Amino acid sequence: MQMERFNPWWSGEPDPAYESWLQASVRWTPRQAAELSLEPSALNFLSGPRQVGKTTLVKVLIHELRRGHDPRSIFYYSCDELYDFKELGEVLDSYLSARSAWGIAGSYIFLDEITFVEEWWRALKARIDGGALRSDAVTVTGSASLDLMKQKEYFPGRRGTGRDVVVRPLSFGEYCGALSKLDLMGSATIEGVAKAVGANAIHAESLSRMFGDYLQTGGFPLPLREKADRGRVTEVPRRALLDGLRADWGRVGRNDRYMKEVLAYIFAARGTPISWNGIAKNTSIGSPNTSRSYVETLQDLLAVEILELIQPDGRVIHRKNRKVHFVDPLLYKVLADYSGQPADEAALVEGVVASHLARTFQTYYWKNGGEVDAVVVEGKEQVGIETKWGYKEARRPRHLRTFFALDRTSIPVFLASLRIPF
């Protein structure tokens, strides 16, 4: 089973993955690592898109754990070479047997890319129920978050203090923190963001320049580092992003040709509200329910954010058209190329703003004659955010007391002032 190959720290050898991170020209400590529970009997689910840095997060955490623990009490295994739950069970039993012989009572167990294993949950559930993992903190990771999150239902009352942690591409604020030494204020409340914008405006020129780079690289680690090292993003990370997404939507039965048509329709809409029926009529799919399933698969894969219509009285109208935004600039461009559609920078930027807001607030849109790109709900108040990248008139609707009209200069400052919680 070559467990030693995955756990070089057992013999005092360096971990190539950690060393690679350590030597990177641009690196940051993934903050989501602090959210994982490391208490006995904890079962954590760590999900996120491919190429986003989940394995790096785990390896950095393992390095930290090595400082105060027997290295053999830390077990990592990449499951992408395993076929089914029986093989996974054999791996777990082999380690548990070895650690018992070593006199180790409890361990930190990391099972990476577990969704590659057919019915993986059976191996874990059987050993939790049998008490074999009662002294351990177990973390499982998966790229297809829709697969991983579905399996939670098999572990009622069996997760202890375990948590669900999602790793996403870097937000613009995180990007600024990783690539600059700017002293930026930030907040996760609208009032706090407004104050931070006033303080951060002195860095508007630097933030604008960095935002231009962010629109090229997005928040995925590899393209970000390529841009820093080579001045450009190569085809390698772009291909890796696309191949990963195609593999993930293929695993849940989504047809490549249909998905390409759905994507083309979304891009052609350029950020305007669309309907499931509209997709069905303008693609080969034909069924509104099937159209919905394709877009919701993209949402489950953390590739898009779907905004629904909200009324001034707070009612969300679920049967109205929806806005579909891509969550990362590079992902937008990769999928635009894949679907054969030109990238529209104004729609891209509106999507960046909307998806950033949706990671912090309940986020919708409003339309009634006029339109507001994003409406966030904080407490009982609705706050409007309008994004003007090109020429676009922005008027505050009467029912929105607080309204941000963002332009090319203020968009980077606003996003850099927004602190996105875990």
Q: Sign (positive/negative) of CA torsion 261, 265, 267, 268? A: positive
User: Minimal CA–CA distance to 143: which of 64, 236, 78?
Assistant: 78
Mean pLDDT of the chain, nearest integer: 93
Q: How many whole angstroms from its chain centre is CA 376?
A: 20
Cα 16 from Cα 112, distance rounded (Å): 16
Residue positions counted in the chain: 422
Residues 6+ apart with CB under 8 A from 140: 43, 44, 45, 46, 111, 114, 120, 124, 148
Q: Helices 221-230 & 235-251, crossing angle to 10 degrees?
A: 170
Structure tokens at 306: 């779907």
User: Minimal CA–CA distance to 270: which of 311, 231, 326, 308?
Assistant: 326
Structure tokens at 282: 């303008």
Residues 6+ apart with CB under 8 A from 119: 84, 85
Cα–Cα distances in angstroms (integers) from residue 17 to residues 21, 33, 68, 224, 383, in the given order: 6, 16, 20, 18, 43
Tens-place pLDDT, residues 50-62: 889 999 999 999 9
Cα 240 from Cα 173, distance rounded (Å): 25
Cα 385 from Cα 404, distance rounded (Å): 5
**pLDDT of residue 150 exceeding 80:** no
Q: SS3 helix, strand, coil % of the chain, rounded to 5?
A: 50, 15, 35
Residues 6+ apart with CB under 8 A from 257: 284
**pLDDT of residue 139 exceeding 80:** yes
Cα 381 from Cα 157, distance rounded (Å): 36
- Are the C-beta atoms of residues 414 and 406 closer than 8 Å to each other? yes
Cα 138 from Cα 124, distance rounded (Å): 10
Cα 264 from Cα 294, distance rounded (Å): 12
Q: Helices 204-217 & 345-358, crossing angle to 10 degrees?
A: 100
More confident call, 111 vs 392: 111
**pLDDT of residue 2 exceeding 90:** no
Structure tokens at 171: 């937000």
pLDDT-derived band of residue 29, with 50, 70 and 90 as boundaries? confident
User: Minimal CA–CA distance to 233: which of 225, 243, 242?
Assistant: 225
Q: How many whole angstroms from its chain centre is CA 243?
A: 17
pLDDT-derived band of residue 206, with 50, 70 and 90 as boundaries? very high
Domain boundary assignment for the chain: 3-166, 172-416
pLDDT-derived band of residue 1, with 50, 70 and 90 as boundaries? low
- Across the strands, what pairs with 370? 368
| Domain 3-166 class in CATH | alpha beta
Tens-place pLDDT, residues 230-286: 999 999 999 999 999 998 899 889 999 999 999 999 999 999 999 999 999 999 998
